[in-house]
Structure 1
Amino acid sequence: MPLSRRIHKFLEKTKKNKVDKKNDDERDKFNAEIKEQEKLRKKVTDLIKKQKLPAVRQIVKGQDDTKPWGQDAKAKVGSHLIELLMQTAYIQPPADQLADCPPDVRPAFVHSLRTVVKENKKTGRRYGVIECDPLVRKGLERTARHMVIPYMPMLVPPVKWTGYDRGAYLFLPSYIMRTHGVKQQREAVKRTSRKQLEPVFEALDTLGCTKWRVNKRVLNVVDRIWTSGGHLADLVDRKDVPLPEKPDSEDEALLRKWKWKVRSVKKENRERHSLRCDVELKLAVARKIKDEEGFYYPHNLDFRGRAYPMHPYLNHLGSDLCRGILEFAEGRPLGKSGLRWLKIHLANLYAGGVDKLSHEGRLAFTENHLDDIFDSADRPLEGKRWWLKAEDPFQCLAVCINLTEALRTSSPETFVSHTPVHQDGSCNGLQHYAALGRDKLGAASVNLVVGEKPADVYSGIAARVLDIIRRDAQKDPAVFPDALHAKVLVNQVDRKLVKQTVMTSVYGVTYIGARDQIKRRLKERGVLTDDKEIFGASCYAAKTTLTALGEMFQAARAIMNWLGECAKIIASENQPVRWTTPLGLPVVQPYRVLGRHLIKTSLQVLTLQRETEKVMVKRQRTAFPPNFVHSLDGSHMMMTAVACKKAGLTFAGVHDSYWTHASDVDKMNRILREKFVKLYEIPILENLLESFQQSFPTLCFPPLPERGDFDLRDVLESPYFFN
């Protein structure tokens, strides 16, 4: 219950507390109670006038005899409130739409039961659905920019973290970890001493104290595009796709094709609607805070120890749209080094292979496109629109504007820049595996060693896949059926086709996941049109890509298999996998079998999910390798954040992408390399095995996989480790 309501309830109670006076003893007792409550009431009123809320909260808490509602009570009350809303809320079209017709007054919300049958299943499940009238939905879309969003960015620095639920926002409930109701994880964090969690608190406070502001020039361009219908710079089209007309024919094949197209268009329109809502929310926040001098993003963690801003919509972890709109509130002079990095950053954002050139090659790219950059800054929508061809168009536009302003001053090196410059890891998951396994071959593939230009692991895997496919294409289809798919794919294999699969391989991507990723890429290209042919080619390409990955990253695969085997042994004892990150954060994997709990309400019977005591063995095993690596990259980012703050740098982190001012990139590069080496000088796998053996002394775990002789300190001299 909110504090204001509890205070009101307490004051009302002290005013109106009357009882029947059956005898003198009861009367005396009653009078004493009344006097005591009058004293308390006067004390609370005085404290409120003096704005001493903590003291008020303490008194009210001591007098509050209410108990929290259980899940059943909440569900029943909530369902009844929805029922009352449906009984009382009606809507009528505007008068100009009625003409001479009688008023069309109808319910604004309707409850119905639907049976949903999933693909490849014969039976479906029944769901209760609350539908709003189309007029209500349109009204909500129009007023989206005025909606109240509670967890907004803060205008003052966040409260420092001191405990599980103490820190971040001043009044809104704030928890250091997003546990989603997982009791064991929540209790593990609560039991951990404040001293052990101090490095985590310090890192989150550092991330939360970075001051941001809205880039008004970029926001103005976004608003113009959105007002004119979207569909530029990766913004969704604001119009729906028209439904195909029904063919004037009885031909069943034609009708089946038409029905398939209708389903496809409806799905596309649902996705567009969802994306439009997302854009509206982001822009609503940007418009609300665009005139503020600066604002802050309180951060907390997911259960693996990765940091996230608590405000969910407009933040630097978001899309290119969000990142283009945001910039550091504090500016710093570029200097010679900053001007160089701003140009490199522009080439990185433009991408299209440019980001795989050496630093000098990227500088040359920017220098060769200065006219396009100036035109983009001066006439973003009326000119040549060069920035729209970038892989990250809005961020590219922001840097075009910033670089143009700098180069047009008499002294570009003294120009004050607010633009964050990113340094991104090269397939960061594989970098962590290479460091864990001291793998020389893997380290060279992901830029842990010195090179004249960045090694591109995606292109390396694509080349290996192409070699296999070319060989298979020469085979006899009668003996080797996949030869047909190989012939189709010979001209389709490139780094983009395999990139997502390579990127997610270290996070446990399955064959089915890889197949679906490649299938999406093939559909986007439109070269293959037959669904059956696309599916067959995707299956073959996924299998070939995973084979190539296994060949190139044997050490990473060995560590992944070892982690999975350990998890399987632990989960087979009906125990979740637990470990402690290098920064002292306890992690408990949350995967348990879900049971069903039925609640009969006034609307319908609700089926709620509840965790049981039984762990999901397969999920515990498959999720452990990626979760463990995520806990390590989260540790590296937080170690870097704290060190950057101590060095006087402004820092923001997006998992494996580190941001600072252009002038400070060289300093941040040195720090992040030093922290990576420091992290992996810790015997991480040895400590993990020891913790498993201590927790489960009766179980037998496999020996640690063999490791290579890669020298970690080579990372300190690698220019493209993060670049």
Structure 2
Amino acid sequence: MPLSRRIHKFLEKTKKKKVDKKNEDEDDESDAAIKVQERLRKKVTNLIKKQKLPAVRQIVEGQDDTKPWNQDAKAKVGSHLIELLTQSAYIQPPADQLADCPPDIRPAFRHSFKTVVKENKKTGRRYGVIECDPLVRKGLERTAKHMVMPYMPMLVPPVKWTGYDRGAYLFLPSYIMRTHGAKQQREAVRRTPGKQLEKVFEALDTLGYTKWRVNKRILSVVDRIWTSGGRLADLVDRNDVPLPEKPDSEDEALLRKWKWKVKSVKKENRERHSQRCDVELKLAVARKMKDEEGFYYPHNVDFRGRAYPMHPYLNHLGSDLCRGILEFAEGHPLGRSGLHWLKIHLANLYAGGVDKLSHEGRLAFTENHLDDIFDSADKPLEGRRWWLKAEDPFQCLAVCINLTEALRSSSPETFLSHIPVHQDGSCNGLQHYAALGRDKLGAAAVNLVAGEKPADVYSGIAARVLDIMRRDAQKDPAVFRDALHAKALVNQVDRKLVKQTVMTSVYGVTYIGARDQIKRRLKERDVITDDKELFGASCYAAKTTLIALGEMFQAARAIMNWLGECAKIIASENQPVSWTTPLGLPVVQPYRVFGRHLVKTSLQVLTLQRETEKIMVKRQRTAFPPNFVHSLDGSHMMMTAVACKKAGLTFAGVHDSYWTHASDVDKMNRILREKFVELYETPILENLLESFQQSFPTLSFPPLPERGDFDLRDVLESPYFFN
């Protein structure tokens, strides 16, 4: 129950008792009890006046005897509220309706049943659906100003975290972890002593205390594009694709083709509708906050310990649109190093291969495009629109404007910049594996060691794949069946073909997953038109890519396999895999078999999912390696956040992308490298194995994988570790 409701209930309860005592001759309660209630009421009232909410919460929660509703009660009340909505909400008749016509009044929402039949299945499942009238749906995508958004950015700093449900928002229910109903995970965090979680609390408070504001010039450009129908800078088209006309023919083949086109267009229009609603929600928040001096994003963590803003729409974890609209509320003078990093940042945002150049190459790119940058800043939509060619156009435009103002000022180095400058990890999951395994070859591939320019792991894997395919193409097809596939693919191998598979290798991508990823890339190129040939080529390319990955990242593969084996042993005992992150946060993998539970409501019979005691063994095994690495990258980000705060830096983080003012990038770079080394100088895998052995003394776990001799301190001197 929200705190405001609890306070109201407490005040009413104590007030009522006072009145009862005055009006009745006999009362079951003693004078002493009444006086205690009166004193408590007075104390709470005074604390509210002094805005001491934590103390109010403690008293009120101690007096609250309300029991939470169970899942069945919530389902029944929720269904009845929906039923009341369908019975009472109607569409108003249009303003231009003729007076002598009956009013066109119809329900805004309808409850009906639909049967959904999956492909290749004869029978379907019947679902209850709530449908909006088309006018309501159209209105929602036109404006989101009437939408209720409870977890808005805060105008005052968030309440500091002190417990599982104590911190962040002043009155809204706030929980430090998003458990999504996983009872065991929730209880594990609740049981953890506050002292153990102090570092997590401090990191989340640091992220929540970063003050933001809306970049009004970017918002103005976005509004102009959106008003004109979208379609620029990755904004969705505000108009639907027209449905194809039905052919005036009895030809079955033509009609089938037409039906397929109609289905495809309807799917495209549904996606556009969803994207338009998403843009409207983001813009509604931006317009609401644009005149505020600054605002804050309270943060919490997912079950692995990765931090997220609690407000879901306009935040720095969002798309280029969100990131372009947001900037730090506090400005810092650029200084010489800040001007240098602002230019590099612009090249990184432009991307298209420019972000793979050395720092000097990126600086040269920006210097060579100053005319385009000035034109973009002066005439974003009327000029040459150079900024629209960038991979992140709105962020690129924001930097174009900032850099233009700085360079035109009388003293560029004293110019106040509000732009957050990013430093991103290079295939960060593999960086963590290379550090865990002290893997020299892997470390060099993902920039843990210094180089003249950034190593590109995707190009490295593509080169290995190409070598293998060239050798295979020379073989006799009668002996080696894939020789023909190798010949067909030799000219198709590039970093784009293998990039998604390399990225997802950290998350335990399977052979089938890799095959489907590569098949999509090949299909886009339309080089192999025969479906059977395309499938065979995709199978061969996936197998070859995974071989190349295994060769380059042997240590990573060994650690992944070891983690998976440990998880399998634990899950086979019908126990979830659990561990504690380096910052003391307990993690319990939530993967259990769900049971079905029927609840009869006034609307329909609902089928609810409920956790059972049975563990999903395969899911526990496959999810553990990526979840464990995510808990480590979350720890690294939190350690960096706290250290940056102590050094007086403004800091924001998006998993493996760390942000600060341009003038402070050098300091942040030093800190994030030091914290990475500090993290991996602790015996992480040894501690994990020891915790497993203590929790399951009767089980036998495989020995730790062998480690290489990579010197972690090389990271301190690597300019492209994060860049």
TM-score norm. by structure 2 comes to 0.93
Contact 1:108 1:136 in 2 (8 A): yes
C-alpha distance in 2 between matches for 1:324 and 1:404: 16
Do the aligned partners of residues 254 and 701 (structure 1) sit closer, same or farther apart at CA in structure 2, a change above 3 Å counting? same
Q: Is the 8 A contact 1:451 1:720 kept in 2?
A: yes
Contact 2:3 2:172 in 1 (8 A): no
Give per-residue Cα distances to partners, 1:354-403, cap 9 Å, x unaligned: 11111111111111111111111111111111111111111111111111
Q: Is the 8 A contact 2:53 2:170 kept in 1?
A: no
Q: 1:379 to 1:100 in 2, by over 3 A?
A: same
Q: Retained in 2: the 8 A contact 1:305–1:634?
A: yes
Whether contact under 8 Å (2:2, 2:173) holds in the other structure is: no
Question: C-alpha deviations, 1:387-446, integer Å up to 9, x for none?
Answer: 111111111111111111111112211211111111111111111111111111111111
8 A Cα contact 2:567 2:620, kept in partner: yes
Given that 1:93 and 1:135 are in contact with CA atoms closer than 8 Å, whether structure 2 keeps it comes out as no
SS in 1 for 2:96: helix
Distance 1:5 1:663 in 2: 46
State the number of aligned residues.
723
Q: 1:246 to 1:358 in 2, by over 3 A?
A: same
SS of the residue corresponding to residue 249 of structure 2 reads coil
Alpha-carbon shift at residue 110 of structure 1 (Å): 1.3
Q: 1:618-642 deviations in whole A, cap 9, x for unaligned?
A: 0000000000000111111111111
In 2, distance between residues paired with 1:167 and 1:228? 42
2 CA distance for matches of 1:638 and 1:32? Answer: 50
Partner Cα distance (1:365, 1:22) in 2: 82
After TM superposition, give the deviation of residue 592 of structure 1 in Å.
Answer: 0.6
Deviation, 1:467, is 3.2
Could you say what secondary structure the match of 2:477 adopts? Answer: coil
Query: CA shift at 1:335, angstroms?
Result: 1.2
Alignment partner, residue 101 of structure 2: 101
Q: 1:538 to 1:630 in 2, by over 3 A?
A: same
Q: Do the aligned partners of 2:449 and 2:715 also contact (CA within 8 Å) in 1?
A: yes
1:511 CA drift (Å): 2.6
% of aligned pairs identical? Answer: 92
Whether contact under 8 Å (2:143, 2:284) holds in the other structure is: no
| Cα drift, residue 666 of structure 1 | 1.0
CA distance in 2, matches of 1:584, 1:247: 66
* CA contact 1:109–1:131 (8 Å) conserved in 2: yes
Contact 2:4/2:171 (<8 A) preserved: no
**8 Å contact kept, 1:110–1:132:** yes
Do the aligned residues in 1 keep the contact of 2:141 with 2:276 (CA within 8 Å)? no
SS of 1:619's equivalent? helix
Q: Is this contact kept in 1: 2:660–2:668, CA < 8 A? A: yes
C-alpha distance 272-529 of structure 1, shift in aligned 2 (>3 A): farther
Task: Give 1:160 deviation, angstroms.
Answer: 1.1
Q: What displacement does 1:700 show? A: 0.7
Q: Is the 8 A contact 1:116 1:126 kept in 2?
A: yes
d(CA) in 2 for partners of 1:95, 1:535: 57
CA shift in 2, pair 1:98/1:474, >3 Å: farther
Cα 1:536–1:131, aligned 2, differ >3 Å: closer, same or farther?
A: farther
CA contact (8 A) 1:342 1:421 kept: yes
What per-residue deviation string (whole Å, max 9, x for no partner) do you get for residues 128-167 of structure 1? 1011111122233334124231111111111111111111
Asked if the contact 1:145/1:283 (under 8 Å) is kept, the reply is: no
SS of match in other structure, 1:607: strand
Give the Å deviation of 1:512: 3.1
**Native 8 Å contact 2:450 2:717 kept in 1:** yes
CA contact (8 A) 1:673 1:716 kept: yes
Which whole-Å CA distance do the structure 1 matches of 2:22 and 2:323 have between them? Answer: 71
| Shift, 1:9, TM fit | 5.3
Give the drift of 1:292: 1.1
For 1:98-247, list aligned pairs within 5 A: 101-247=101-247
For residue 22 of structure 1, report the CA deviation from its aligned partner: 19
In 2, the alpha carbon distance for the partners of 1:44 and 1:669 equals 47
Moved more, 15-24 or 83-92: 15-24
Deviation of 1:118 after TM superposition, in Å, equals 2.4
> Quick one: distance in 2 between partners of 1:316 and 1:11?
40
Deviation (angstroms), 1:553: 1.2
1:511-545 deviation digits (Å, cap 9, x = unpaired): 33323333443455565667666555444433332
Partners of 2:448 and 2:714 within 8 A in 1: yes
CA apart distance, 1:475:
5.9
Cα distance, 1:330–1:59 mapped onto 2, change above 3 Å: closer
**Distance change >3 Å, CA 193–CA 229, structure 1 → 2:** same
Query: For 1:68-110, what per-residue CA distance to the aligned partner results, in whole angstroms no more than 9, with x for missing partners?
Result: 2221111112212222222222324404256864333322221
The structure-2 alpha-carbon separation of the partners of 1:548 and 1:103, relative to structure 1 and needing over 3 Å to count, comes to same
| Structure 1 pair 41–549 and aligned structure 2 pair: CA distance change class (3 A) | closer
Q: Name the CA shift for 1:561/1:60 in 2 (closer, same or farther; >3 Å).
A: closer
1:6-55 CA-partner distances (Å, limit 9, x unpaired): 55556666777899999999677799999998898788778777877667
Which is worse superposed, 501-510 or 556-565?
501-510
Unaligned runs of 5+ in 1: none
Q: Distance in 1 between matches of 2:284 and 2:251?
A: 49
Q: Quote the offset at 1:470 in angstroms.
A: 4.2
Deviations 1:248-287 (A, max 9, x none): 2222222222222222111111111111111111111111
Q: 1:266 to 1:544 in 2, by over 3 A?
A: farther
Change (3 A) 1:108 1:58: same
Shift of 1:329: 1.1
* Residue 459 to residue 108, structure 1, CA distance change in 2 (3 Å): same
Residue of structure 2 equivalent to 1:458: 458
2:596 aligned counterpart, secondary structure: strand
Deviation digits for residues 529-577 of structure 1 (CA, Å, limit 9, x no counterpart): 6766655544443333222212221111111000000000000000111
Residues 46 and 167 of structure 1: CA distance in aligned 2, closer, same or farther (over 3 Å): closer
Q: CA, structure 1 residues 262+469, in 2 after alignment: closer, same or farther (shift >3 Å)? A: farther
Q: Verify: 1:282 aligned to 2:282, yes or no.
A: yes
Which residue number corresponds to residue 696 of structure 2? 696
Contact 2:140 2:277 in 1 (8 A): no
Q: Is the contact made by 1:304 and 1:631 (CA closer than 8 Å) also made in structure 2? A: yes
| Partner-residue secondary structure (3-state), 1:666 | helix
**1:37–1:258 CA distance, 2 compared to 1 (3 A):** same
Closer, same or farther in 2 for the Cα pair 1:16/1:400, shift >3 Å? closer
TM superposition shift of 1:56: 6.3
Contact 2:417–2:661 (8 Å) recurs in 1: yes
Q: CA deviation at 1:493?
A: 2.6
C-alpha spacing 1:237/1:476, structure 2 compared with 1 (3 Å): farther
8 Å CA contact 2:373–2:400 kept in 1: the answer is yes
Q: 1:87 to 1:30 in 2, by over 3 A?
A: farther
C-alpha deviation, 1:609, in angstroms = 0.4
Q: Is the 8 A contact 2:3 2:173 kept in 1?
A: no
Once the two structures are superposed, residues 653-710 of structure 1 have per-residue CA deviations (whole angstroms, 9 ceiling, x without a partner) of 1111111111111111111111111111111111111111111111111111111111
Given the superposition, is the C-alpha separation of residues 459 and 95 from structure 1 closer, same or farther in structure 2, using an over 3 Å criterion? Answer: same
Stretches of structure 2 lacking an aligned partner (at least 5 in a row) = none
- SS state at 1:113 partner: strand
The 1:354/1:42 distance shift into structure 2, 3 A limit, reads: closer
Q: 1:413 to 1:14 in 2, by over 3 A?
A: closer
Secondary structure of the 1:395 match is helix
- Paired residue for 1:79? 79
The Cα shift of 1:492 comes to 3.3
Deviates more, 1:111-120 or 1:369-378: 111-120
Q: Per the alignment, in what secondary structure is the counterpart of residue 59 of structure 1?
A: helix
Compared with structure 1, are the counterparts of its residues 357 and 105 closer, same or farther at alpha carbon in structure 2 (3 Å cutoff)?
same
| 1:60–1:433 distance in 2 versus 1, CA, 3 Å | closer
Q: Is the 8 A contact 1:562 1:702 kept in 2?
A: yes
